[in-house]
Amino acid sequence: MNAPTPLESSGIVPPAPHVTLPRFGLLLVGDELLSGRRADQHVPKTIELLAARGLTLSYVHMVGDARADIAAQLRSSLASGDVVFSCGGIGATPDDQTRQAAAEAAGVPLALHPQAEALIGQRFAELAAQKGIPFEPDSADHQQRLQMGVFPQGAQIVPNPYNRIPGFSLGHVHFFPGFPAMAWPMMEWTLDTYYSFWFDQRAWAENAVVVKSASEAMLTPMMEALEARYAGIKVFSLPTLQHPEHGPHIDLGVKGDPVQVERAFGEMLDSLRAMGCDLGPVQHPVAR
C-alpha cells in the first residue's frame, strides 16, 4: 500500500490526474456581472496566471444567480473532464447559490465539511479575540457563518490565505469566492498543487503583422490555404476600425507549433506582398 502524499495527509485528496494536457475553463457567477453593477476582473487575471505557467484559457461562461442556470452549467463542467475555475456565489446569503447548484449537479447532498468548520471557527475566534469579546461557537450568528463550509458531500477544500474561509473542489472543478483578493491566490494554489505537471509542456509561438487597406474577404482564401497546409497552426484576423497610428487595419497572424508558425508566417508575408497589401509592423512574436 502506498504511503499517503503530503497533500493527502492534510486531508485533501487530489483529483485523478489527466493523461493528456487538459483544457482550462472559467465560470463566472453573479447577477451583478450581467447587470453591469460590477465589471469582471477574473478573465484577464486567469489568462495571466495560466500564461505564466505555459497554459491557455479555452473558454469562459457567465451565469447569473439562478440555481438552475448554475447547475446546468456545472453539469456540463463536471462531465467535460476540463479544469474549470468557478468564481462567485459560494457565500451564505440568499443570492449565493453555487454550493447548492454544485451539489445538485453532482447528485450528492450538502454537508458541513469538518475542515471548513474548523477553519471558519479559527477565523472568527481570532476576530473575537481582536475585538476583546467572547467567541460563541453555538450562537445563531456563528451557525449561520458555518453555512459557508457546507459543501457538496465528497468535496475537497481549497485553502484561502486571505481569511481562511475555504473554497472547495469537485474533481477538476474548483470553486472560489468572487472577491479577486481571495480567488486569485486560491486559483494559483490550485494550479500549483494539482496541475504543475502540465506547466510549460506545450511549445507555442505567435506572429502577427498589421495589414492596411485589405478586407477579410480578400484575405480569407489565403488564410484557409495556410491552415490546410499546416496542421499545427491556426490563423487569426483581428480587425481594428480606428487606430491613432495605423488607421483602420487588420492584425493578421499565425499561432501554434513554433516551427510551423515560422514557415506559415513567412508564406503569409509573401502572399500579402504578392497581393499588394500595405503592411505595417510585424508584431513581436510570442513564444514559450
**Residue 89 above 70 pLDDT?**
yes
Calculate mean pLDDT across residues 115-124.
95
The domain boundary, picked from 166, 181, 198, lies at: 198
Residue 170 inside a domain? The answer is yes
DSSP label at residue 220: H
67-80 and 98-106 helices, crossing angle to 10° = 50
Tens digits of residue pLDDT in 28-51: 999 999 999 999 999 999 999 999
Query: Tens digits of per-residue pLDDT, 93-109?
Result: 999 999 999 999 999 99
d(CA 148, CA 150): 6
Residue 83 forms part of a structural domain: yes
Q: How confident is the model at residue 1 (pLDDT cuts 50, 70, 90)?
A: very low
**Predicted model pTM:** 0.85
The dihedral built from the CA positions of residue 55, 60, 65 and 68, taken in this order, carries a sign that is: negative
CB 21 within 8 A of CB 200: no
Please write the tens of the pLDDT for every residue from 255-278: 999 999 999 999 999 999 999 999
Residue 1 lies in a domain: no
Compute the distance between CA of residue 218 and CA of residue 111 in angstroms, rounded to an integer.
59
246 has a pLDDT exceeding 90: no
- The pLDDT assigned to 202 comes to 80
Q: In whole angstroms, what is the distance from residue 130 CA to residue 139 CA?
A: 18
Tell me, yes or no, whether 173 and 67 share the same domain: yes
Instruction: Give the torsion through C-alpha atoms of 63, 69, 70, 73, to 10 deg.
Output: -90
173-211 pLDDT, tens per residue?
Answer: 999 999 999 999 999 999 999 999 999 888 888 999 999
* 140 and 175 part of one domain: yes
Domain count along the chain = 2
Domain limits for position 166: 6-198
Residue 79 CA neighbour count, 13 Å, CB half:
8
Mean pLDDT on 49-74: 97
Q: Which of 198, 213, 241 delimits the end of a domain?
A: 198
